[in-house]
Every structure is written in C-alpha cells, then in structure tokens.
A = this chain, B = another copy of it.
Amino acid sequence: MKKGLLVIISGPAGSGKGTIVKRVRELAPFDFSVSATTRKPRQGEEEGVHYYFVTKEDFEKKIAEGEMLEYAQYVGNYYGTPKKPVEKALAEGKNIILDIEVKGALQVKEKMPEAVMIYVLPPDYETLLARIRGRGTETEDVIQKRMTEARTEIKTFPKYDYVVINRENGIDEAANDVLAILHAETMRTSRNAEIPETFFS
C-alpha cells in the first residue's frame, strides 16, 4: 500500500485558499482530519466528526508526548491536530489536506517532513488588499492588521515547497495547480524508495 500524501495549504486572509481547498476536495479524494479542542461541544456538534472534545489535561498530555502535529490557543481554549489519526489515514493510502495558518504549518512540517507545503497568494498586493476590503465586513483597523500579518508571514515563504497563484476567477486553475503538484509528488523518488530493490528482486 502506497502511503497517502499529507498536504498543507496556507496563505494570507484574502488569498482564497479556503475556496481552493474546497474545489480540490471536489476533484480528488481526501480524508478529513478532525481537530481536537478543549472547548465545550456546541449544539449538534459530534465527537470525532466536528472535533475530538478533550479535557485541558488530556490536551496538554498529548502536547507533552508529541502527539499533537500542531496546536494553538484561542480565547482560552486549545485547538490542534492529533497525529495518530493522520498517520493512520496516510498509512492506509489516503491523502489528507490541512488548511492551516503558517505557525501550525511549520509545526506539522517539523514533525512530518514528508508533508507537501503549498502557499497560496493572490497575483499581487493590490488584489490582496481589494479582496480583504471587498469582504466589506472588516474595519480599517482589521484590514491594516491583516496586511501586516501577510507581510510578516510571507517571510516564511522559503519554508514552503510550492506557491500557487490564485488569479481573478482562477479557482479552477489554482485547484488544477494543486492537483498537478500532488500528481508530481507521488512520483518523487523519495516517495518510491522501494523501487530499486523491488524492481530487480
């Protein structure tokens, strides 16, 4: 059984990465990774479907044991990606795609260096600004904060393997770019290291 691919997609607010991930999921089969959290379940949320709901003690134990691929705290609660279910899915040949921000992405890459890291960007600065403004839901303060975040985050660009440019009306093109990357990655000699031995056996 050939191992599945772990794909990490990041990009600034307004890059459109969420929409690209949605489209990629429509075009190719991916397993969902379920996050763990210490916050209480909301109405209708199911254990193991929306989240794994765990206690603060359990979460911190998992962190200490290296069992969280990445995690962060948000409004007093932990959120993170447990390692075991991801490893199990990959071992079963399933692909997993994680839409996560830069800090989490770098944590995952450290624990699983075989992860394919993709950074999504709009074609230029003006488009990024226009997309954030275009949402119409953010105050000027929040917009400036997002742009500053983007400026800081892009310094991690070289840590990513690939960059996908999300052009105007370019969701299908960008999704196709991601699929070409995944297709190519399955052909990496490092992911087919058994071939020299098996071929002549």
- Which A residues lie at the B interface, using CB under 8 A? 119, 121, 124-125, 150-151, 154-155, 157-158, 160-164, 177, 180-181, 183-185, 187-190, 192-193, 195-196, 199-200
Contacts and interface: CB of A to CB of B under 8 A. Distances in A.
User: Across chains A and B, which 6 residue pairs bring their CB atoms closest together, nearest first?
Assistant: A184-B184, A180-B183, A162-B187, A157-B196, A181-B184, A154-B196
12 contacts: A121-B195, A124-B199, A125-B200, A151-B200, A155-B196, A158-B190, A161-B189, A163-B187, A163-B192, A163-B195, A177-B183, A181-B187
B189 A158 contact: yes
Binding site of A, secondary structure by majority: helix, strand, loop or mixed?
Answer: helix
Nearest to A116: B184
Q: How many copies does the complex hold?
A: 2
Contacts of A181: 184, 187
Contact of A157 (B163, B177, B187, B189): B189
Nearest to A159: B189
